Amino acid sequence: IEPRSICIKEVGPRDGLQNESVFVDTQDKIAWINQLSHSGLSYIEITSFVHPKWIPALADAAEVAQGIERVPGVTYAALVPNARGLERALAANIDEVSIFLSASEGHNQSNINKSIQETLPILGETAREALAAGKSVRGYVSTVFGCPFEGAVPVENVIRVTEALFEMGVREVSLGDTIGVANPRQVHDVLEVLLKHFDAGQLAMHFHDTRGMAVANVLTSIEMGMSIFDSSVGGLGGCPYAPGASGNLATDDLLYMLDGMGMKTGVDAEKLKAAALFIQPKMGRSLPSHSMQACQTE
């Protein structure tokens, strides 16, 4: 594959922390995000303005958003489920708002307590208000490659909700393998269909590494023309409302492959590793990424 530019969107402070049982101290979150801001990343999803009872690990969303350094050139995004979340996100001066839903009913119901049909107008209103406030909006579709409650998810369902998100004015849709069940052939087959409906430049891939397939899935996605990937430092992460969901694709593992293949990301691997080493002791366990495991045995 010809070397080219790949955009890494760091979701560790949001997807990484939301599933952890430890509450990371607000000042530690801020210091960690500041380190990530200086690693060359251009996009960081820093927290989420969901109901704090649903995600206690991110109950300090406003303090984090207001406490971090805003490095020029870095977009600071947050997850927002509804108008109440948007109000909080705007008060905290978030740059980009990420709205989210699932391609399967079972996971949507478990995650946001509503059917897909009930969710769409709520997201539409949230997107409209965010755009009116001068913010850009990103959309997530979960369970694209499989649902913990329903199993296989028809690609038609993915197309339907992705189209609905674009109609709301989102600038990019991130396709989530929420429980890390995808394999490269499936990624190929799903993307082959989706790319007949959407441009590769409007889609991001969001892999979880539950079964060790994430890097292989990225490679297939790159071969299919995709160039935006979500990942989490050290492989932290998961969705507490998706049984079996574990860590995201690790940013450090992704970077190891991309750097080695001559792909340009702008991210400094040493600075990223320093950020992983900073957060590791706060999690009370060693971080699951291959790169972090390798560096602990070096």
Q: Dihedral of CA 196/142/268/202: which sign?
A: positive
- Please pick, from the candidates 3, 25, 73, 84, the single residue that binds ligand HMG as defined by CB under 6 A: 84
- Number of amino acids touching Mg ion (CB under 5 A): 1
Amino acid at 129: E
Of these, 76, 140, 145, 229, which contacts ligand HMG (CB under 6 A)? 140
User: Strand 203-207 and strand 228-231: pairing?
Assistant: parallel
Question: Residue 253 interacts with Mg ion (CB under 5 A)?
Answer: no
How many other CB atoms are found less than 10 A from the CB of residue 92? Answer: 19
Q: Is 7 a catalytic residue?
A: no
Minimum separation from the CB atom of position 102 to ligand HMG (A): 7
Tell me the sheet residues that pair with 48: 79
Is residue 271 a contact residue for ligand HMG (CB under 6 A)? Answer: no
Q: Whole-number minimum distance, CB 105 to ligand HMG, in Å?
A: 15
Q: Which is nearer to ligand HMG, 43 or 273 (CB)?
A: 43
Q: Are 135 and 166 a contacting pair, CB within 8 Å?
A: no
Interface with Mg ion includes 177 (CB under 5 A)?
no
Closest CA to 70 of 17, 26, 34: 34
**Residue 29's binding partner, choosing from ligand HMG, Mg ion, none, with beta-carbon cut-off 5 to 8 A by kind?**
none
**Residue 154 neighbours by CB distance under 10 Å:** 11
The secondary element (H helix, E strand) that includes residue 118 is: helix 116-132
Q: Does 15 bind ligand HMG (CB under 6 A)?
A: yes
Q: Which residues are catalytic?
A: 239
Binding residues vs ligand HMG (CB under 6 A): 15, 18, 48-51, 54-55, 79, 81-82, 84-85, 88, 100, 111-113, 140, 142, 176, 178, 206, 208, 239, 241
